Amino acid sequence: MTVLWRAVRSVPPWVLATITGVLALCLPFLNLDYAVGRQIQLGLILALIVSGIGLSLGYAGQLALGQAAMYAAGAYSAGVLAIRGVTDVLVQLLVSGTAALLIGLLTGVIGLRLGAWSLAMTSFFLVLMIPDVLDVFESTTGGRTGLSGIPPGTVFGSVLTPRDFFLLIVVVSLLWFAVVRNIVTSRHGVAFQVLKESEVLAASTGVSVFRMKLIGYAVGAIPAGLAGTLFANLDLFLAPTSFGLHLATSTLAAAVLGGMVSVYGPLVGALLVQLATWQAADFQEWALVVYGAFLILGGVVFGGGIAGLVRRGIRALDRRFLPEPVTDDTGGSAAGVPPLPGEELVVDGVSKAFGGNQVLTGVTLRAAPGRVTALIGPNGSGKTTLLNLVSGFYTVDDGRLRLGEVELTGLPAHQVARRGVSRTFQTPLVPPVISVRETVAAGRYSADRVSIIGALLRGPRHRAVSRRDREQVRDLLDLVGLARVADAEASSLPLGQRRLLEVARAIASRPKVLLLDEAASGLDEQEVAVLARLLGQVRDAGCAVVLVEHNFGLVLSTADEIHVLARGRLIASGPPAAIEADDRVRNEYLGIADEASVGGVA
Amino acid sequence: MTLLYSGLSLGAVYALVALGYNLVYLSSRAFNFAQAQLVMVAAFVAYTALVVFRLPWVVAALLAMAVLMVVAVIEERIALRLVTDHHTILITTLGFATLLDGAAERIWGSEALDVPFPGPEGAWSLLGGRLHTVDLALVLLAVLLVVGAHWYRRRFLSGIAIIGMSQDREAATLRGIDVRKLALITFAVSGALAGLMGAFVGPKTFALTTLGASMALKGFVALAIGGFGSLYGGLLGGFTVGIVEQVSARYLGAEFSHISVFAVLMLVLLVRPRGVFGRVRERVV
């Protein structure tokens, strides 16, 4: 059994996909029963729509209910083109895909301004408007009575037979699923996962949250447009009733059923929904109830859909039959930190208030490259707020932030990150599902860029960057002693290892300044030692390190310069020895003051 | 004037849906997709009570409130309680809305049903325009409920607790507020209110299964205009949507009523995404 499973697992995933694809290409030549063939074609068309929902909701985390509208736009643009004499299906596909993308971009840009709900509602509204829009252009679209008299599609001038057309549907579907696969298995797929888990984290790795959501949503509209063209050419008749709320909910239910965070899950979900609609005579009457139940169940019980169940099954079999690699304690290795030329971080007279609560008042400090600058102070003294201001998560009320000669004041978080400011968080932000290796690779998103198109076409740049990703991630994992767990799910690691993982991710972005927010809290002694050594290495590599820390021992042993904050003001700055001897610091922070907490967990 | 009246009374329907959204939003920071469906179901319940069982109107309204309270509590139990993140709640409440759509269609069919309303038949004149009793009643109900909700929220401790909960669940729990119980109560109240609304909305719009989606969307536009969490904003937003819809249907044609409202939504999101009364809140890491 073990041998068998190991053999199964050693088959790369693309082999299975290729076999399925080849089988699918044979379907049109099997002389299937007309009804069966038609259901398969409708199922594939549905799968295209559902796959777009998967991209938008599963990866970009945006609930898009407008897929039915993009589908209608694609279908009608193809139908109208055909009636006007452009019967070439390839041209129609191009036009409908573009039309859907444009609608997606337009509604996305506006809908995303108010967050998830407003995008869901804006896109849902599109579906409600379909019959009205068709009515307004009744002379071209046929309004409520429908658009009839669509001439059959051609490719390069020759009319497609039903078999040719079946083949065309299969080819379009295969190509689209290949596109999805290439996008989601690239670093952009990981970036989507990161984004969905935490927008803060995504921004701190240099991902523009707005742009990424928009891309997921708008690209997710394309397959719906393509599906529209295919549907128009399959039935040669279009009516507004084909594109209603019923379609919107059935596609969403299919996405939830199949599993959205998956390339092929939507295909499975769509085929099952199509099968149910066809086979169960009563299904139409109960369809809405069933879809509704699916959506609730999908949200509450089986979040990953069928794809999630399969993934869980594989993991269970892995645990059963494949020996677990022995995890080493966080030993770390001799691998060095690559040179990280730093820049001086300048915080100049920064103030910040939340409502009437003045959190920081005129804080001025510098963090020089090649040095560890520690920031200490009691809880609530404004340390984390200062880091958040530097990272661009808050805007300063007064004062300025600079990195070398580069102005950081007022930049959004992802821009700050792209200029070389990297950080870890008080509570480690580690998205679920992705592996330790991918987590570190996520840090390289902005340091070594590849466009989505590049990733999609698997161009030379994508290959080169992927190779560098692999090499550098391996080195970094060696460095923090997590190489043995590289393929484990990142969120399953214990707290100490997650903190080290965050540090590795932060270093992966090749920062000029590294901000560490209580990196040592929750670490055991050995892990603190690893961290201390790591900080030393990063400093020696030339990076400016800013350490917010409660572990006074660690601060004294690693910091070159210490700044003490109390109630939003700097009360002391200087080398460790001076700070340790400072009376005010002893009172405010170390000594007898009520609010003091030394070495505690915040 | 007649146009203004019909716009206001239709707007009151959307304002009521927006009020439902707001109550749930203020108490649990969640968006209840099924709010409009609750009102839709209530209209059907009122129809059954009034036409099938021939109950007096007040009893029918009370019955609708009771039934919808139960439905809303069921919704809280199956679609919200077990789900923690807001993204998923959007999907599960949409699921519940779809389920209600489907169930209502199975029970009451897809024909529009005429829900009777007490008071004189026919329209009467006011300030040079004509309106029905139900139009006036709807506007009054919307205004009264919004003012009442606002007053209650300021006046009572549980109102303050709701504000506290919506700002920070954990902190509210630590202060001894039973967050779960409060969320359940909010749902029960919003369900009962939906029941009451249905008894008023049904006579205006007829009881119709496809109404849920359109009410949900227009209610949302009302909310977007007014700003999330702003009770008075939702009321004014509702009236705005109603008037825009009626005016565009009258002067541009019926097919433009949805399109115009959509255009308003786009405009609001472009110019003032926080709504007219919404407050900007800085993101916290």
pLDDT tens digits, B175-227: 666 677 777 888 888 899 999 998 888 888 888 888 888 899 999 999 888 88
Q: Determine the Cα angle at B216 with ends B210 and B219, to 5°.
A: 135
Residue of B nearest to A303 (CA): B88
Same-domain status, A40 and A188: yes
In this structure, is residue A262 part of a structural domain?
Answer: no
Q: Average pLDDT for residues B91-115, to the nearest whole number?
A: 87
**A97: in domain:** yes
User: What gap in Å lies between CA A198 and CA A42, rounded to an integer?
Assistant: 37
Residue A380 and residue A23: Cα distance in Å, rounded? 63
Q: Please tell me whether residues A424 and A543 are part of one structural domain.
A: yes
Taking CB atoms and an 8 Å cut-off, how many pairs form between chains A and B? 138
pLDDT the model gives residue A82: 93
Total domains in the fold of chain A? 2
Computed on alpha carbons and rounded to an integer, the radius of gyration of chain B in Å comes to: 18
Cα A215 to Cα B92: distance, rounded to the nearest angstrom: 25
Instruction: Work out the minimum CA distance from A120 to partner chain B, whole angstroms.
Output: 9
Q: Domain for residue A88, yes or no?
A: yes
CATH number at A501 reads: 3.40.50.300
Position B44 pLDDT exceeds 50 = yes
Task: Look at the block and give the residue holding tokens 């300044």.
Answer: A513
Q: What range does the domain containing A571 cover?
A: 345-431+495-596
Domain boundaries, chain B: 2-209
Q: Which of A110, A125, A518 to mutate to test the interface with B (most CBs of B within 10 A)?
A: A125
Looking at residue A594, its pLDDT comes to: 45
The answer to whether residues A224 and A95 belong to one domain is: yes
pLDDT at A600: 39
CB atoms within 10 A of CB B250: 15
Confirm whether A34 is domain-assigned. Answer: yes
Considering CB atoms only, which of B31, B79, B217 is closest to A124? Answer: B217
What interface predicted TM-score (ipTM) does this complex get? 0.85
What distance in Å separates the CA atoms of residue A384 and residue B31, rounded to the nearest whole number? 31
CA atoms A89, A93, A99, A103: torsion sign: positive
- Element spanning A517, H or E: strand A513-517
- Is A447 among the domain residues? no
Between chains, do A135 and B101 touch, taking CB under 8 Å as contact? no
Chain B residues in contact with A300 (beta carbon < 8 A): 78-79, 82-83, 92
Q: What is the pLDDT of residue A325?
A: 54
Q: How far is B144 from chain A (nearest CA, A)?
A: 27
Contacts (Cβ under 8 Å, ≥6 apart) of A449? A465
Report whether pLDDT(B58) > 60: yes
Q: Closest-CA residue in chain B for A429? A: B285
Is the pLDDT score of B33 beyond 70? yes
Residues 2-61 in B contacting A (C-alpha not used; CB under 8 Å): 31
Q: What is the pLDDT of residue A111?
A: 84
**B269 at the A interface (CB within 8 A)?**
yes
List of E strands, A310-403: 345-354, 357-367, 372-376, 398-403
**Rounded Cα distance, A179 and A177, in Å:** 5
Residue to mutate among A107, A113, A121, A135, with most B CBs inside 10 A, is A121
Number of H helices, E strands in chain B: 11, 2
Nearest to A113 among B89, B99, B269 (CB): B269
Question: Average pLDDT of B10-17?
Answer: 91
Residues of A in contact with B102 (CB under 8 A): 286-292
The predicted structure's pLDDT at residue B167: 58
Q: How crowded is residue A5: how many other Cβ atoms within 10 Å of its Cβ?
A: 15
Left, alpha or beta for A458 (phi > 0: left; psi -120 to 50: alpha)?
left
Confidence of residue B284 (pLDDT cuts 50, 70, 90): very low
């603190």: which residue's tokens?
Answer: A528
How do A561-566 and A569-574 pair as beta strands?
antiparallel
Q: Residue B112: what pLDDT?
A: 82
Number of H helices, E strands in chain A: 26, 12
* The domain boundary residue, chosen from A205, A230, A245: A245
C-alpha span between B19 and A588 (Å, rounded): 49
Chunked mean pLDDT (size 10), chain A, 602 residues: 80 83 87 88 94 89 87 94 91 95 90 78 89 87 85 88 91 93 85 83 86 90 95 91 86 88 88 86 80 84 80 82 57 65 88 85 89 87 88 88 88 88 85 81 78 78 82 83 81 84 88 88 84 88 88 86 88 85 75 45 38
Q: Are residues A77 and A186 in the same domain?
A: yes
Long-range (24+ apart) CB contacts under 8 A made by B181-187 are: B182/B27, B182/B158, B183/B27, B183/B28, B183/B76, B183/B80, B183/B81, B184/B73, B184/B76, B185/B158, B186/B23, B186/B24, B186/B27, B186/B28, B186/B162, B187/B24, B187/B72, B187/B73, B187/B75, B187/B76, B187/B80
Instruction: Please check whether residue A8 lies inside any domain of the structure.
Output: yes
pLDDT at residue A598, as a whole number: 44
Domain boundary among A198, A226, A245: A245
- Quick one: pLDDT at residue B65? 92
In chain A, residues 41-80 whose CB comes closer than 8 Å to chain B: 61, 63, 65
Copy the structure tokens of residue A139. 């002379």
Q: Quick one: A228 and A352 in the same domain? A: no
- The pLDDT assigned to B126 comes to 72
A317, part of any domain: no
Distance from CA of A233 to the nearest CA of B (A): 28
Nearest to A292 among B96, B217, B262 (CB): B96
Q: pTM score, two decimals?
A: 0.84
For residue A153, tell me if it sits in a domain: yes
Closest CA to A120 of B103, B182, B266, B33: B33
